[in-house]
Structure 1
Amino acid sequence: MAECLFCMIVAGKIPATLVHTDDEVVAFRDINPQAPVHVLVVPRAHYANVGEVAAADPALVGALVSAAKSIAAAEGHEGSGYRLIFNTGADAGQTVFHAHLHLLAGTGLRMTMA
């Protein structure tokens, strides 16, 4: 999709701090990090959300998670822990409608439910 922010990052039309690329996945640092390590892991192909990815290509969901695990290890957080988040839909906080996984790591990650 020509107007999709993440499609433009994947295509190299918008700069980003890339931390991982392969045939299926691109990962880059979030410009508004919510943790010491905050990386977005996106499929190269455009899907609006993870539900669409799972329906069309379940193995691609595994590729996103596998890439996140490798990035966490490279960032020194495989043993200490990291969080993976998919926001699906506006009510869940998704603001860019290209499927993406948030990898969060670092000190002080706690889950609070409102």
Structure 2
Amino acid sequence: MVEYAYIHDDVIEYAENKDDSKLVEANKELMEGLSLGEEARAGTKDHVRRRQLQAKMAVELMDVDKNQAKECLRLWKEMSEVFVEIRDMKFVRLEDYLSFRVVDAGCP
């Protein structure tokens, strides 16, 4: 699952067109993949492969601990919803950036 998060992060970070609509669409696809029980929409082969990978991760999480898996997926969706808002922030001071990165990286 961590590997998928890095792949998704790379898609966002290295996107040629970083306008809001592209970022929103990428996050929408991620959130769709993290939703349990929702019907998959038709798409490209890449989209289908991505959905298969997401489904496999969700199933593996559920096999380990169903309740914690649901919570993990819920939290990942929540994080993804605010991703577009925070990634393009401009920092004037290094201290502000480092404080942001501590929170963004999930450090206490």
Q: Under a length normalisation based on structure 1, what TM-score does the superposition of the two structures give?
A: 0.29
Which has the larger Rg? 2
Greater RCO, CA 8 A, separation 6+: 1
Which structure has the highest helix share of the two?
2
Q: Under a length normalisation based on structure 2, what TM-score does the superposition of the two structures give?
A: 0.30
Which structure has the highest strand share of the two?
1
